[in-house]
Amino acid sequence: MNNNDIDRINTLYHKSKAVGLTPEEKEEQKRLRKEYIKSIRASLLGTLNSIDMQEEDGTVTNLGEKHGKRYN
């Protein structure tokens, strides 16, 4: 998702509050929001899967490997 898509989401939101959206614009807004949520989830999962935790015995465990990156 790039900045143009995010700007378009914001534009459609403001237009929906001001004058309303056409059916085509509503579909575009829905599609863009789904893409945005998908990109946020992917970013969050990438971050979570790269976390290393140091155990009490001094060993380091990668949580993504430990839990099999099951949420990807």
R_g of the chain computed on alpha carbons: 19
Helix axes 3-18, 23-49, angle to 10 degrees: 140
Q: Does residue 34 carry a pLDDT above 60?
A: yes
Q: Does residue 55 carry a pLDDT above 70?
A: yes
Q: Does residue 25 carry a pLDDT above 70?
A: yes
Superfamily of domain 3-66: Helix hairpin bin (1.10.287.540)
Count other C-beta atoms under 10 Å from residue 65's C-beta: 10
Residue ranges of domains in the chain? 3-66
Q: What is the pTM of this model?
A: 0.73
Q: Does residue 71 carry a pLDDT above 60?
A: no
Six token digits for residue 42:
């992917």
